[in-house]
Amino acid sequence: MTQKFDTIIKNGLIYDGLGSAPYVADIGIAAGQIAGIGQLNDDGAERFDASGLMVTPGFVDIHTHYDGQATWEHRMAPSSGHGVTTVLTGNCGVGFAPCKPHERDNLVKIMEGVEDIPEVVMTEGLPWSWETFSEYLDVLGSRSFDLDIATQVPHSAIRIYVMGDRAVTYDPPNAQDLSAMRDITAEAIRAGAFGVSTSRNIMHRTVAGELAPSLFSETDELLALASGLRDAGAGVFQMIPAITAPADEEFGLMRKIATQAQRPLSFSLLQIPTDEVGEWRNFLNHLDEAKKDGLPIKAQVAPRPVGMLYGLDLSFHPFALHPSFQPLRHKSLAEKVAAMKDPALRAQLLAEQAESTNPITLKIVENCKFGYMLGDPPNYEPALEDRIDQRAAAAGLSVEEYAYDLLLENDGKAIIYNPGANYRDQNLDAVHEMLRHQQTLVALADGGAHYGMICDGSFPTYFLIRWGRDAAAHEKIPMPDVIAALTSQPADAVGLIDRGRISLGSKADLNIIDLSSLYLRAPEMRQDLPAGGKRLVQLADGYRAVFVSGVKTYDDGVATGALPGKLVRNTAAQLAH
């Protein structure tokens, strides 16, 4: 009897997501699953001719911040425009549940500072129709999306929910607090969360400079969260280590957490500019030791430099914190450009200094002098001689004078890029080594966050182009490995084992890609968030089609309007009991 399919993708070059060599075949889709692979015939099926094109599993992004966006939007841009069909939210210990009504402003302030989401966007966009994490999941479960969404419960939200005002001070949690945190973590996992997350990164602060609540935590509190995972018998532990602490110290803490939880742990790993001793490589060595000891610890790594973007229409630029610029902050870009062309204002801004109560914000603005013009197409591997301070010196100008003129280029749309992490030695050698390590995961794209200062939701496209297609022979990553790193590896790491692979019975999340024409455009600012909020977007060419549960969501890069995506609940806790 002939198999009946809803859709057949014909003659594509299939990369199965498991690292196997590619092969040409048809894929049959029925009831949202892959129901046939081979030479298929069904006259009643919709057909897509993929001759000469790559067919891959949909990409799985395990480091995003769509916690808020998923409550007010149906499209998870920018990730869904880069072949991503599943995202994991709730990273870095920040999010919006659990939350008591009188503490909502606290979570908004934390997300505004840590993830650069304007307060007014959250105030206008969030429905706040929940208190517990389970109720938050119910809200997401009632909505539809252009991709699937999985969640983690964030530490800072748990801490505020349990400790109230004491959550943002150095008062330690008492035994009752720790027990409540443990119980909330376990309850969230049983309700469908895929993990719990925390941050020890001192840069994670409110706009005013106050530390995120998770930064006040000691080992016993982190172990309480780990115990919650152990109680549930499911879930993962995600964390950002203290960036200034030695690798030996931070990895020792992670070993304790993983041992207590008896669950997988992953952490963010970057080559930071101040790392003169190669601590990033020490972390890799510790990963090897942990594997030998049977501890499931992995590092989340980025495929390119992680850096700040600066511009007149972005969150920061060299004059964003100057007193004379403040009346312009909420003006249109055209009004900013017109005002800054006034010689009197120019002289005033050049004479002033940045002012802020947040030392991290001051440092971000100061570091713009180490930036480069990003350009179109965007150049993520700039030469040292093109750095702003170098060009300013060559032109006989101060860095401030040179940057002022740059900001007015292209009608004020010019973007300055500072590759702060993963580019210490003006090359991507450290990135390549991290990507090729057996205990790392490609992640850290941060989709749904940093709307006005970072635009890394394009990581999957960049990874395909830079490391799979265009890399020099000595650093090229085999394309089957590239696809596995974007699909089955992150999916399996967090327990999403029904996707990230092309095999019979797997979820029909698929990308059809014209690799030869795959192209990453320059970031641009759009004003399409609630309350007129702005965000950076970065588009890509070459994605011929994207399917979620067998339904086409993108056709040649254009959204079809279909919303087959949904909340994915973790059922492992129920199976464990």
DSSP-derived secondary structure for 352-405 = -----S-HHHHHHHHGGGG-EE-TTTT-SS--GGGSHHHHHHHHT--HHHHHHH
Tokens of 303: 């495929």
Helices marked H in 5-79: 69-72
- DSSP H stretches of helix in 192-278: 219-232, 247-261
Whether residue 370 contacts residue 418, with contact meaning beta carbons closer than 8 Å, is answered with yes
Bridge partners, 86 (sequence order): 60, 148
* pLDDT value, residue 401: 97
pLDDT of residue 573: 73
Q: Is it the case that residue 90 has pLDDT exceeding 80?
A: yes
The pLDDT value given to residue 200: 94
Phi/psi of residue 173, each to 5°?
-70, 145
Q: If you average pLDDT over residues 104-116, what whole number do you get? A: 92
Burial of 396 from C-beta contacts in 10 A (0-12 / 13-18 / 19+): exposed
Average per-residue pLDDT for the chain: 95
pLDDT of residue 575: 67
Q: Confirm if 395 and 402 have CB atoms less than 8 A apart.
A: yes
> Which of 43 and 48 is assigned the larger pLDDT?
48
For residue 22, say if its preceding peptide bond is cis, omega within 30 degrees of 0: no
Quick one: 218 exposed, middle or buried, by C-beta within 10 A (0-12, 13-18, 19+)? exposed
pLDDT of residue 209: 84
Strand partners, 154: 197
3-class state of residue 156 by DSSP: helix
> What would the mean pLDDT of 162-177 be, rounded to a whole number?
93
Confidence grade of residue 360 (pLDDT, cut at 50, 70, 90): confident
pLDDT for residue 159 is more than 70: yes
Q: Is 233 exposed, middle or buried (0-12, 13-18, 19+ CB in 10 A)?
A: middle
Q: Residue type at 54?
A: M
Characterise 124 by phi-psi region: left (phi > 0), alpha (psi -120 to 50), beta (else): alpha
499, amino acid identity: R
CB distance 125 to 531 below 8 Å: yes
- 3-state secondary structure at position 155: helix
Q: What is the mean pLDDT of residues 488-507?
A: 98
From CA 301, how far away is CA 255, in angstroms rounded? Answer: 19
User: Residue 282: which residues within 8 A CB-CB, separation 6 or more?
Assistant: 246, 247, 248, 251
How far is Cα 468 from Cα 444, in angstroms, rounded to an integer? Answer: 19
CA distances from 419 to 118, 380, 431 (A): 23, 8, 13
Average pLDDT over residues 546-571: 98
DSSP letter for 560, please.
-
pLDDT tens, position by position, 223-257: 999 999 999 999 999 999 998 899 999 999 999 99
Average pLDDT over residues 53-80: 97
H-type helices in 76-235, by residue range?
104-115, 119-125, 133-141, 155-163, 175-191, 219-232
Q: What is the pLDDT of residues 385-432, one digit of tens each?
A: 999 999 999 999 999 999 999 999 999 999 999 998 999 989 999 999
Which residues share a beta bridge with 546? 511, 554
Q: Are 452 and 121 in contact (CB under 8 A)?
A: no
CA distance 122 to 523: 23
Helix count and strand count (H, E) for the chain: 19, 25
Name 9's bridge partners.
27, 48
Q: For the segment 430-460, what is each residue's pLDDT rounded down to a tens digit?
A: 999 999 999 999 999 999 999 999 999 999 9
Q: Which of 331, 311, 330 is nearest to 319 (CA)?
A: 311
Q: Tell me 261's DSSP state.
A: H
Give the whole-angstrom CA distance, residue 99 versus residue 149. Answer: 20
Of 404, 396, 436, 205, the C-alpha closest to 303 is 436
Model confidence pLDDT, tens digit, residues 291-329: 999 999 999 999 999 999 999 999 999 999 999 999 999
List of domains in the chain: 59-304+423-494+506-526+569-576 (3.20.20.140), 308-421 (no CATH)
Query: Is pLDDT of 13 > 70?
Result: yes
Q: Does an H or E element contain 30, and which? A: strand 23-30
Q: Give the residue from 67, 66, 68, 90 showing the smallest Cα distance to 76.
A: 66
* The predicted structure's pLDDT at residue 1: 45
CB within 8 A of 409, min separation 6: which ones? none
Per DSSP, what are the bridge partners of residue 507?
A: 33
Count of Cβ atoms closer than 10 Å to residue 135 Cβ: 14
Per 3-state DSSP, what percentage of the chain is helix, strand, and coil (rounded to 5)? 40, 20, 40
d(CA 203, CA 274): 14
The model's pLDDT over 170-196, given as tens digits with 9 standing for 90+, comes to: 789 999 999 999 999 999 999 999 999
Q: What is the dihedral of CA 314, 317, 320, 321, to 10 degrees?
A: 130
SS (H, E, C) 475-491: CCCCHHHHHHHHCHHHH
Q: Give CA–CA dist 212/202, Å, rounded.
A: 8
pLDDT over 90 at 574, yes or no: no
Find the length of the chain.
577
What are the tens digits of pLDDT across the range 273-299?
Answer: 988 889 999 999 999 999 999 999 999
* Residue 574, phi then psi, degrees to nearest 5: -65, -40
Do the Cβ atoms of 388 and 399 come closer than 8 Å? yes
Identify residue 311 by its one-letter amino acid code: G
2 has a pLDDT exceeding 70: no
Judged by average pLDDT, the poorest of 154-168, 207-221, 228-242, 533-547 is 207-221
When comparing pLDDT for 358 and 271, which is higher? Answer: 271
Q: What is the mean pLDDT of residues 338-347?
A: 97
How do beta strands 543-548 and 153-154 pair?
unpaired
Residue predicted with more confidence, 535 or 572: 535
